[in-house]
Amino acid sequence: MLTNVRLISKDDLLETVQELARDNYRLLSITATEIAGGFDLIYHFAQGMTMLNLRFSIGYEQEVPSITPFYFCAFVPENELKDFHGIKIANLPINYRQLFILSELTPVKTPLAPRAAAASGTEVLPE
């Protein structure tokens, strides 16, 4: 089951992540799920065998700050969020512009967020 969940708000994210980085937590992944009117975001961290999940929800139009200043490896899941859900990430240093795994030839934009597909207006640049 989903255990050890800490509910936070979007504004607390960077501060919390900074604390976790100081305590030598590892970033496992970031999961987004489309819910009514927006996305449910879970940041999975682990220290040894124990997991810690940070959870908060955002609306379609809201921007999430990138946590790459503390965890450089976050650019991989954050680019995935952009690809599959069309979530807007602020200050992403390595930005594939929605072409990380999907290509400009893919007929579907944001395949894991069908309800948001129409709302996604991000510019797609050719490779």
Q: Which residues bind other proteins (CB under 8 A)?
A: 1-2, 24, 26-29, 31, 33, 42, 44, 48-49, 51, 53, 71-73, 75-77, 84, 99-103, 105-108, 111-112
Determine contact, residues 55/41, Cβ cutoff 8 Å.
yes
32/40 Cα distance (integer angstroms)? 6
11 versus 127: smaller Cβ distance to other proteins:
127
11 versus 107: smaller Cβ distance to other proteins:
107
User: Residue 112 CB, nearest distance to other proteins (Å)?
Assistant: 6
β-bridge pairing 5-7 and 50-59: parallel
Determine contact, residues 88/97, Cβ cutoff 8 Å.
no
